[in-house]
Amino acid sequence: MAFLMEAHSGLSAKIVEEAGFEGIWASGLSMSATLGVRDNNELSWTQVLDMLEYMSDASSLPILVDGDTGYGNFNNFRRFVKKLCQRGVAGVCIEDKIFPKTNSFLGENQPLADIDEFCGKIKAGKDTQEHGDFSIVARVEALIAGRGLEEALKRAHAYADAGADAIVIHSKKSSADEILAFCREWNNRAPVILIPTKYYRTPTDRFREVGASMVIWANHNLRSSIQAMRDTCAELKRSETLIDVEDSVAPLADVFALAGAGELEAAEKRYLAASNGSAQGVILAATRGESLGDLTLEQPKCMVPVRGRSILGRQVEALNRHGVSDITVVAGYRADAVTVPGIHKVVNEDHATTGEAASLALALERLDGAMVLSFGDIVYRPFFLGLLEEREEDIVLLVDPDGGTTGRDPVACTMPFSDDPDLGGVAPLLTRFVEGKGDVTSDGEWIGLLRASAEGTRSLKAELAEMQAEGSLGSADTGAVLTRLAEKGTRIAVVYVRGYWRNVNDVMDLAQARDSM
């Protein structure tokens, strides 16, 4: 026989897991009471989903959700099931009462749902669930409503026939006699779950003897926390000092541990060391952008405003937020107009006759260590910089799988984009940059943003020096440099990202960039 313990927040979910329980009961009463409302569907199902998301993130235990009556008819319920599956919740329990529900322990002769309607709700949920392990549990309220054992058994059999994975038989009597009688008559046709909140004096072995599969301790974390808070408040009001309560409350270190402070500290050591301490920024912004017409007569396109801030200004702000403050901007056309504060400006005097690789070589003359490289004509959401940290290779590119045949820098990778979760452990690498648009071998478009470790920066500098010696540097773009490295065996990681960025080449791009930002 398994045991589920009630939780109503991420914190209480962690405590349940810490205690060693097999699973969590996400109590509707407890979640409602935590937010100061009644257990009467005053909490919306979207608010419940928000709370469940925190609980699911905080604990690895399976969560069985108290779904009340399913929040409406079959259509409401199947949408609720879909959203629960998306959040990794293990199952939902619904009761055969009328929406909006009344708590089972309040009032008498509560109306019950029509059996056929409730069976349809169960079938709709089973047809909607997105993974085979998701469970729909039917809670029979006939005993609560005073309808007797025969009605309870009739309903339970109908719900099992409709596809319910388990049955909760509920009672508000202090004696477990009618619960035990139900279990004997039921004869283990489907798993039975008990909630002995009212008949708590009954020895647990009695539940085992009649074949119960699971027991839920339904609201005891909530109730114990209420008593603890009252005791602490009363003592502090009386004594007006912390001395007498400090030994009876959890230490702050315990709070930090439950909130995951240790994991954050380890993550900071892993990620911030690469960005805050040593990483430098490089922005290649030497071109005019003739297709923007009069907008670039007196300034390069990196200085064209997007919603009140220049493209370059947006990039510098994003890098600063990510902890990158030493930023080199390679200017060229109208370099005097590149006036964003907080940058080190390098001028490519030959910008009209050289390409990106020559500008990159100029920037890297003053760089030593990790870097983030960006084209000066892209706008992107700041979280993109965090995506570059998802891989540990020395060079990491962001690639949009939707831009492969039409974009500026199409690339071929070791594997195409896939949202198949079974491929989560397989990571794509760059094979080469594809020459020309429309090539069907392309797996996406490099958006013009990469991260290089200190070793990756050294590899780039060495390759640029070799190209300079060969005489091929002047006309080369960044893609040519990266392709050469990939062909020599350098592992260049690819992180796929869809949308939330724009390469600004013409007025249409600019309009779309303004809309997307």
Residue 517: pLDDT band by 50, 70, 90 thresholds?
A: low
pLDDT score, position 41: 85
The dihedrals phi and psi of 138, each to the nearest 5 degrees, come to -100, 125
Q: Which of 97-111, 236-250, 442-456, 464-478 has the lowest mean pLDDT?
A: 97-111
For the annotated catalytic residues, the residue numbers are 39
Joined tokens for residue 433: 């940059």
pLDDT score, position 274: 47
When pLDDT is averaged across residues 403-408 and rounded to a whole number, the result is 73
d(CA 272, CA 274): 5
pLDDT in tens, 236-257: 999 998 888 887 888 888 888 8
Query: Burial of 225 by CB count in 10 Å (0-12 exposed, 13-18 middle, 19+ buried)?
Result: middle
pLDDT score, position 155: 98
d(CA 35, CA 38): 9
Residue 49, number of CB atoms within 10 A of its CB: 17
DSSP assignments along 123-171, one per residue: HHHHHH-SSTT-EEEEEE-TTTTT-HHHHHHHHHHHHHHTT-SEEEE--
When pLDDT is averaged across residues 417-424 and rounded to a whole number, the result is 67
pLDDT score, position 260: 87
Return the closest-CA partner of residue 457 out of 279, 283, 330, 325: 279
Do 100 and 73 touch, CB atoms closer than 8 A? no
d(CA 359, CA 172): 77
pLDDT in tens, 277-301: 468 999 999 999 999 999 999 999 9
Residue 94: pLDDT band by 50, 70, 90 thresholds?
A: very high
d(CA 446, CA 384): 13
Residue 252, number of CB atoms within 10 A of its CB: 8
pLDDT score, position 428: 94
pLDDT score, position 459: 97
Residue 349: pLDDT band by 50, 70, 90 thresholds?
A: very high
**Pair type for strands 410-413 and 444-452:** antiparallel
pLDDT score, position 192: 98
Q: Which residues contact 259 (CB under 8 A, 6 or more apart)?
A: 11
- Give kind and range of the element (H or E) at residue 86: helix 74-86
The CATH architecture of the domain made up of 2-218 is Alpha-Beta Barrel (3.20)
Residue 50 pLDDT > 80: yes
Q: What is the DSSP letter of 359?
A: H
d(CA 63, CA 26): 7
DSSP assignments along 362-417, one per residue: HHHTT--S-EEEEETTEEE-TTHHHHGGG--SSEEEEEEGGGTTTSSSEEEESS--
Q: Which of 71-75, 93-97, 104-108, 198-202 has the lowest mean pLDDT?
A: 104-108
pLDDT score, position 437: 63
Can you name the residues that pair with 496 across neighbouring β-strands? 399
pLDDT score, position 275: 44
Residue 496 pLDDT > 60: yes
Q: Average model confidence (pLDDT) for the chain?
A: 91
pLDDT score, position 244: 81
d(CA 334, CA 362): 17
Homologous superfamily, domain 275-516:
Spore Coat Polysaccharide Biosynthesis Protein SpsA; Chain A (3.90.550.10)
The dihedrals phi and psi of 404, each to the nearest 5 degrees, come to -65, -35
pLDDT score, position 266: 78
Residue 404 pLDDT > 70: no
pLDDT score, position 466: 97
d(CA 467, CA 475): 10
Do 90 and 50 touch, CB atoms closer than 8 A? no
d(CA 61, CA 472): 58
Joined tokens for residue 77: 């319920």
pLDDT score, position 407: 77
Return the closest-CA partner of residue 55 out of 80, 28, 87: 87
Residue 261: pLDDT band by 50, 70, 90 thresholds?
A: confident
* HSE of 25, CA atoms in CB hemisphere, 13 A: 27
For the chain, domain boundaries: 2-218, 228-259, 275-516
Q: Which of 216-230, 378-392, 401-415, 476-490 has the lowest mean pLDDT?
A: 401-415
pLDDT in tens, 165-180: 999 999 989 999 999 9
Residue 82: pLDDT band by 50, 70, 90 thresholds?
A: very high
pLDDT score, position 367: 87
Residue 440 pLDDT > 60: yes
pLDDT in tens, 456-477: 999 999 999 999 999 999 999 9
pLDDT score, position 294: 94
Largest separation between any pair of C-alpha atoms in the chain: 92
Q: Which of 58-72, 182-196, 241-255, 479-493 has the lowest mean pLDDT?
A: 241-255
Residue 419 pLDDT > 80: no
Residue 276: pLDDT band by 50, 70, 90 thresholds?
A: very low
Do 170 and 139 touch, CB atoms closer than 8 A? yes
The reply to whether domains 2-218 and 275-516 share a CATH topology is: no
Residue 102 pLDDT > 70: no
